Amino acid sequence: MKTSIVGIGQTEFSTNSGRSELKLALEAILSALDDAGLEVNDIDGLVRYTWDNTSEAAIVNALGLPSLKYYGETEFGGVNCCGAIAQASAAIQAGLASCVVFYRALNARSGVRFGRGERVLSEDGDALISHQPEPPGDIYSAPFGLLVPGQHHALYAQSYKGHYGLSDERFTEMLGSVAVTQRRYANNNPRALMKDRSLTMDDYKNARVISEPLRIFDYCLETDGAMAIVLVSQERARSMSAKAVDVLSASQYIFPGSVPMYLYAKDTYSLAPPEAGEVLFGRAGLKPSDIDVAMVYDATSMMVPLALEDFGFIGRGEAADFLISGQNGPNGSLPVNTHGGLLSEGYFHGLNSIAEGVRQLRGESSNQMKADTVFMTLRGASSMIMGRA
């Protein structure tokens, strides 16, 4: 890749923003432009999720942009966050745009709540109405009670636990080590929703089970707010005063049995085949041992051990030893989700994790590590590596 992130911006994270998603998006975009030292009219490209309610046309009209040379959308929600970065980078390298903004705005607590099953299936008398009728996907699982990702992830957790023969206690400590460590990071992060709420291992173990074996602290936070990321070419970034971070590699990867039919995968105790990591690291000319800090998409805590194994940071079945020994913590061999992650900072479909990677490489994180390279993955569907410019 020959692109750089030169600006990150966000609103506050809350459970009730009191603003429309369009207004939130505009605030985040303007904040990111200010961070980059750019003007509104510098934008000539936009990328977003297909799930975002704020269209490119709405942004163009609200900001008064004269035109867009490029706009694109990426599918599959949060797991394709890095795919949007890849798309923006490709547009810049192809000369389709020179300054692309990736934005995400949502009222996911005060508005539509992603954890509610009626988004997928509802009742009408004696009939069940599917709201995602196009196979493959939830049409095959929703009628049996699997309505939201948190339930699917619980099946992954059961599969992993059984495959590697982990006792109830050891499995609980493995996931608890993710939740507790990330909460400690969040307690030192002024942006985090959970900044003032501590979490001990006893708190975790005594928490109510939501979908066995996952407890309430294994789930991400419903969050209101918006975020934006500004990308330009590396050449242009070098001439700017902004603290640039280089995109060393960004990829999208879908394989049979992945999004959205992951329950039909051959091995349900992993989320991505080895090839996904090989593609990503190969493009960057790096290997897992070169990574200083990792940002892992943690819609549930179970995604962390799976990603660490899938991308070769540890061997298969080694996640319990790695996490229980604190290797994901500030003094560990690979600090993970140093902002608190989606579990404790806020759920923003991965943009906040990319932003934390940028802060680590700029030396601006609330939990600063020694970082020259940062890895980011979103369940294998997309991933990226960033490096100090």
Low-confidence stretches of the chain (pLDDT beneath 70): 76-78, 111-124, 126-140, 255-265, 379-380
Catalytic residue among 103, 204, 262, 347: 347
Which helix (H) or strand (E) segment holds residue 30: the answer is helix 21-36
From 8, 68, 74, 10, select the one nearest 43 (Cα to Cα): 68
Q: What six digits make up the tokens of 206?
A: 């005594």
Is 269 catalytic? The answer is: no
pLDDT in tens, 312-332: 999 999 999 999 999 999 999
From 376, 389, 374, select the one nearest 234 (Cα to Cα): 389
Q: Number of H helices and number of E strands within the chain?
A: 12, 13
pLDDT in tens, 42-53: 999 999 988 788
Tell me the torsion sign for CA atoms 288, 294, 298, 300.
positive
Q: Percentages helix, strand, coil for the chain, rounded to the nearest 5?
A: 40, 20, 40
pLDDT of residue 377: 82
**CA triplet 389, 10, 148: central angle to 5 degrees?**
105
**CA triplet 104, 108, 114: central angle to 5 degrees?**
105
Domains of the chain with CATH codes: 3-111+221-388 (3.40.47.10)
Return d(Cα 346, Cα 208) in angstroms, integer. Answer: 20
pLDDT of residue 191: 97
Is 347 catalytic? The answer is: yes
pLDDT of residue 138: 64
Catalytic residue among 204, 253, 262, 297: 297
Q: Model-level pTM? A: 0.92
pLDDT of residue 216: 98
pLDDT of residue 270: 84
Q: What six digits make up the tokens of 207?
A: 């928490």
Return d(Cα 22, Cα 28) in angstroms, integer. Answer: 10
Return d(Cα 179, Cα 183) in angstroms, integer. Answer: 6
pLDDT of residue 272: 80
From 215, 256, 250, select the one nearest 231 (Cα to Cα): 250
From 33, 150, 41, 56, select the one nearest 104 (Cα to Cα): 56
pLDDT of residue 358: 98
